[in-house]
Amino acid sequence: MMYSSRRKPVLYFTKEDSRSGLLLRMLPRCSIFKLFCTLILLGFFSVIWLHYNCTISSSRSSNDDALVHKSCQEETDNSAWGPHKIAIIVPFRERFEELLTFVPYMHAFLNKKKIRHKILVINQVDHFRFNRASLINVGFLESGNDTDYLAMHDVDLLPQNDQLDYGYPEKGPFHVASPDLHPLYHYSSYVGGILLLTKQHFELCNGMSNRFWGWGREDDEFYRRISAAGLQLYRPTGIKTGYQTFKHIHDPAWRKRDQKRVSRQKQEQFKIDKEGGLKNLKYSVVSRSELTIEGVHCFIINILLECDLNETPWCVIN
């Protein structure tokens, strides 16, 4: 038997040729038309898949933004919260670190109690001594028609007990930080710290006296105004947390109070100011701005007070 020494031809491929052949073998054995249709369908479904994923992502992002936006706003559209809205009036000067704590804390506290509110920070930017009473008068006049009652609220006093009432004080002024609860001041005529009034009651008192420059005594004079206006003062009942009811965040070592008594201020501080108040308040607004602290909005009103040096020369310290 004879065998042919003739070998079958062998094809040798370069690396590029072998890859091309592999790709050709991987392609489906179909006509060009069917291949074209397949690519069209794949492209179509890819577009649908991308659109679906983008829509879901956008929806999630929108929902997240809505939640953040909702948390930043006051709950003013919920009728279950009642018809009244409080203006939290904060007389202020150079206590920014306390304000950073106060604004988000009070917003959360009042939201928990379903109290519609607006926080107004009345910032004294003139060179006179601090005048808390005049700043509260300014806050009343600048509080707007969307609020119907106000809280004179110290920036360094935070309520710790959820039973404290910040509701509409229809019957008369309501002293939230009563002497039985305030961590520092316990005398019976004290009405400082946090006091709620309707706007009608505040007008009936002609606001607060503008004669008190420096720290203290303006609350004691306002206590007399409440009595003179025939209003009854109310205070919390049934609160069992005592002097732990509030947290006082002021550090006297860091920021000392202006307790100096200048000229005839010592004699004047115990008098009743029968004429002064809202009617003779003089001030100008430097600017109005909105500040957001930890997602919570408050309104900053920078103001200049005016002082009659003939009437109250103790508005400056020589």
Q: Where are the domains of the chain?
A: 86-255+267-305
What are the CB-based long-range contacts (under 8 Å, 24+) for 110-114?
110/86, 110/166, 111/74, 111/75, 112/162, 113/162, 113/166, 113/167, 114/75, 114/78, 114/80, 114/81, 114/82
Using CA atoms, how far apart are residues 103 and 155, in angstroms rounded to an integer? Answer: 9
Between 21 and 11, residue with greater pLDDT: 21
In 3D space, the residue among 111, 103, 214 whose CA is nearest the CA of residue 153 turns out to be 103
pLDDT of 250 reads 74
Residue-wise pLDDT for 126-172, tens only, equals: 999 999 999 999 999 999 999 999 999 999 999 999 999 999 999 99
Q: Show Cβ contacts of residue 125 under 8 Å, excluding neighbours closer than 6 positions.
A: 93, 286, 302, 303, 304
Residue 182: how many CB atoms within 10 A of its CB?
A: 21
pLDDT at 95: 86
Q: In the chain, what percentage of residues exceed pLDDT 70?
A: 73
Tell which residue, 264, 237, 139, 252, has the closest CA to residue 197: 139
The pLDDT mean for the chain works out to: 82
Compute the average pLDDT of residues 34-63: 60
pLDDT in tens, 245-300: 999 987 766 667 776 777 777 777 677 888 899 999 999 999 999 999 999 999 99
How far apart are alpha carbons 205 and 225 in whole angstroms? 6
Helix (H) or strand (E) holding 107: helix 96-112
- Categorize the per-residue pLDDT at 50 as very low, low, confident or very high, splitting at 50, 70 and 90: low
CATH superfamily assigned to domain 86-255+267-305: Spore Coat Polysaccharide Biosynthesis Protein SpsA; Chain A (3.90.550.10)
pLDDT exceeds cutoff 80 at 187: yes
As a whole number of angstroms, the distance between CA 169 and CA 184 comes to: 24
Q: What is the pLDDT of residues 194-227, one digit of tens each?
A: 999 999 999 999 999 999 998 878 999 999 999 9
| Helix or strand run (H / E) with residue 286 | strand 283-293
**Is residue 316 classed as helix, strand or coil in its secondary structure?**
coil
Give the dihedral of Cα atoms 78, 80, 86, 87; nearest 10 deg.
-10
Reported as type and span, the H/E element at residue 163 is none
> In the numeric block, which tokens belong to residue 94?
């150079």
Question: Do the bridges between strand 296-305 and strand 157-159 make them parallel or antiparallel, or are there none, so unpaired?
Answer: unpaired
